[in-house]
């Protein structure tokens, strides 16, 4: 009776219980999905195992995957394929930039810092989609996580805003490539959520108070709301939607 019964969904990027990917995992689990997790770090894997136990989620496959490395991505999806055969969706919830590049003036971004942010936060979706497609023989959905800094200048977001702009454009080009195979590619643009990664962006608390003041809903969003929107995009309910960026931000992006 769940929206995602019998669906195998790969969730990339649960670092801890605050992670956006964890909110998504809970929504998917409640909808009946069979979850497969990938982590970069052993430390995250340990935390994830604990989280899964605490939440009575059993029999999930845990695979390691460093999205900076094509071979690692390839190996991860091969391992997933050996275990479950077919997958019906992927949640891409990873990003990275040097802390030094997340404050001050964007103009001072180094070449390496720029490339690093693009590599982990944007190119990774291309490489992941390419490998995932091989296992998505019954069609399905891929959903990535983006932020308003892709569309507007958000103080301190800097190099990550440029990487997210590339990510959103990649969503559109990928949607075109895999559409004929019945695979949809979309992004959720979430408002600020206090996570491990968010700590790296200077002035994060100021962003939260502006939302309470100006967003139509006058409140923050949490990772459960991102989870439900991502669930929708991955499900058959969104079967007519691809190449889209869906804002889950209390409406903040419409306000001048």
Asked whether the beta carbons of 194 and 18 are under 8 A apart, the reply is yes
The CA-based angle 222-199-230, given to 5 degrees, is 30
Positions 112 through 141 that interact with ligand 0WD (CB under 6 A): 120
Distance in angstroms (rounded) separating the CA atoms of residues 82 and 197: 32
Minimum CB distance to ligand 0WD smaller for 140 or for 227: 227
Closest contact distance (angstroms) between CB of 66 and ligand 0WD is 4
Decide: is 66 part of the binding site for ligand 0WD (CB under 6 A). yes
Sorted by sequence, the CB contacts under 8 Å of residue 116 that are 6+ apart come out as: 96, 97, 98
Report whether 20 belongs to an annotated binding site: yes
Strands of the sheet containing 140-146, edge to edge, are 61-64, 34-39, 8-12, 89-92, 140-146, 183-190, 245-248
Closest contact distance (angstroms) between CB of 23 and ligand 0WD is 8
Q: Active site includes 157?
A: yes
Minimum CB distance to ligand 0WD smaller for 84 or for 198: 198
Asked whether the beta carbons of 60 and 113 are under 8 A apart, the reply is no
Helix (H, G, I), strand (E, B) or coil at 184: strand
Assigned token pair, 81: 């394929």
Helix (H, G, I), strand (E, B) or coil at 89: strand
Site string for ligand 0WD, 30-59 (x = CB under 6 A): ---------xxx--x---------------
Which stretch, 10-18, 77-85, 176-184, 232-240, contacts ligand 0WD (CB under 6 A)?
10-18
Residue choice 9, 10, 11, 15 for contact with ligand 0WD (CB under 6 A): 15
Minimum CB distance to ligand 0WD smaller for 87 or for 249: 249
Distance in angstroms (rounded) separating the CA atoms of residues 242 and 256: 27
Helix (H, G, I), strand (E, B) or coil at 180: helix
State how far the alpha carbon of 177 is from the alpha carbons of 182, 185, 188, 245, in Å: 10, 10, 20, 17
Residue choice 8, 27, 34, 93 for contact with ligand 0WD (CB under 6 A): 93
Report whether 193 belongs to an annotated binding site: yes
State how far the alpha carbon of 236 is from the alpha carbons of 3, 145, 165, 173, in Å: 8, 19, 27, 21
Report whether 50 belongs to an annotated binding site: no
Residue choice 195, 225, 242, 250 for contact with ligand 0WD (CB under 6 A): 195
Q: Active site includes 114?
A: no
Q: Give the interface with ligand 0WD as residue ranges (CB under 6 A).
A: 13, 15, 18-21, 39-41, 44, 66-68, 93-96, 120, 145-147, 190, 192-193, 195-198
**Residue positions forming the annotated binding site for substrate:** 97
Which residue positions form the known binding site for NAD(+)? Answer: 13, 19-20, 66-67, 94, 164, 193-197
Which residues contribute to the annotated binding site?
13, 19-20, 66-67, 94, 97, 164, 193-197
Please give the positions annotated as active site.
147, 157
């Amino acid at each position: 009776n769940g929206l995602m019964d019998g669906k195998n969904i790969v969730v990339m990027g649960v670092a801890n219980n605050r992670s956006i990917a964890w909110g998504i995992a809970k929504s998917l689990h409640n909808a009946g999905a069979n979850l497969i997790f990938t982590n970069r770090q052993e430390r995250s894997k340990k935390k994830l195992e604990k989280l899964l136990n605490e939440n009575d989620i059993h029999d999930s496959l845990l695979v390691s995957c460093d999205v900076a490395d094509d071979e690692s991505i390839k190996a991860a999806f091969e391992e997933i394929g050996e275990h479950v055969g077919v997958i019906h969706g992927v949640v891409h919830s990873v990003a990275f930039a040097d802390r030094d590049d997340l404050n001050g003036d964007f103009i001072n971004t180094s070449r390496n810092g720029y490339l690093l942010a693009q590599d982990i936060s944007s190119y990774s979706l291309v490489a992941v989609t390419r490998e995932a497609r091989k296992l998505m023989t019954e069609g399905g959905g891929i959903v990535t996580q983006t932020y308003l800094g892709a569309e507007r200048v958000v103080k301190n977001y800097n190099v990550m805003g440029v990487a997210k702009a590339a990510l959103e454009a990649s969503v559109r080009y990928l949607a075109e490539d895999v559409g004929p195979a019945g695979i949809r590619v979309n992004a959720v643009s979430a408002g600020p959520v206090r996570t491990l990664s968010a700590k790296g962006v200077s002035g994060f608390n100021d962003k939260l108070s502006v939302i309470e003041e100006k967003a139509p809903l006058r409140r923050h969003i949490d990772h459960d709301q991102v989870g439900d929107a991502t669930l929708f995009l991955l499900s058959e309910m969104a079967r007519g939607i691809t190449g889209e960026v869906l804002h889950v931000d209390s409406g903040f992006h419409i306000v001048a």
